[in-house]
Amino acid sequence: MTARVAVVIPVLGDEAELARLLRFLRSQPLEAIVVVGGRADTRVAALCREHACTYLETAANRGAQLDAGARAAAAPVLWFLHADAAPPPDALRAIEAALLSGAESGCFRFAFQGPATWYKRLLASLVALRVRWGGMVYGDQGVFVRRDVYLQCEGFARQPLFEEARLIRRLRARGTFVVLPQAIGVATRRWERDGWWRRTVRNRWLAIRYMLGARPESLAASYRRLLRSGQEREP
């Protein structure tokens, strides 16, 4: 049976997280495309062979990675996931049901992985409020979209940060974007490394600077300095 959904996963390192995600996806009737940013990654290529995924290489630029994967897909529905995401078990059924109900695109409810705590619930509630009131939806919420609509909206901007902003604005302007009640698990390691409130404030500050016209390349350079300080590579 031809897959109706193609999942696109941008990767820069994170082989262990990617392996866990691919084990989950292998049991699903979908097309899987892993896009490595920068130089070839033999370990990721081996994982893709093991799990029967398409392996692609492009520039070390998450927007370019996502767009390359989307345009390589054969399935009529695109689903974009971070390598360290924890999708709900019924994710494909939820996507299909939303599309059958008239949605053209959407995302999952934001929730942190791991044991529930008051600060995780609070931050997730703040994300839900932001999205409900028309704020930006970011890639960690597992965005999905019909492929034809993605192409009509010109896809992800080929930039290293806030690559989803243009696409999400255009999708929401069509009036057919939905937020599913099922939660996608967002990895907590960056918040644990930086501190929950410090990380949240930094994220908002980057978003505000972007809204005020700062260049994505300059913001990405700031972001990379934060990653280097934590000795971490971004997926």
- The model's pLDDT over 202-220, given as tens digits with 9 standing for 90+, comes to 888 888 888 888 887 888 7
- Percent of the chain whose predicted confidence (pLDDT) is above 70: 93
In this prediction, residue 205 carries a pLDDT of 85
Model confidence pLDDT, tens digit, residues 51-84: 999 999 998 889 999 999 999 999 999 999 999 9
CATH number of 5-188: 3.90.550.10
* Among 82, 76, 47, 44, CA closest to 62: 82
In this prediction, residue 138 carries a pLDDT of 93
Distances (CA, A) of 48 to 41, 82, 216, 235: 11, 15, 30, 16
Which residue positions in the chain have pLDDT lower than 50? 1, 228, 230-235
In this prediction, residue 218 carries a pLDDT of 82
CA distance 101 to 197: 38
Q: How far is CA 17 from the centre of its chain?
A: 14
CA distance 233 to 104: 33
In this prediction, residue 135 carries a pLDDT of 85
In this prediction, residue 84 carries a pLDDT of 93
R_g (Cα) of the chain, nearest Å: 17
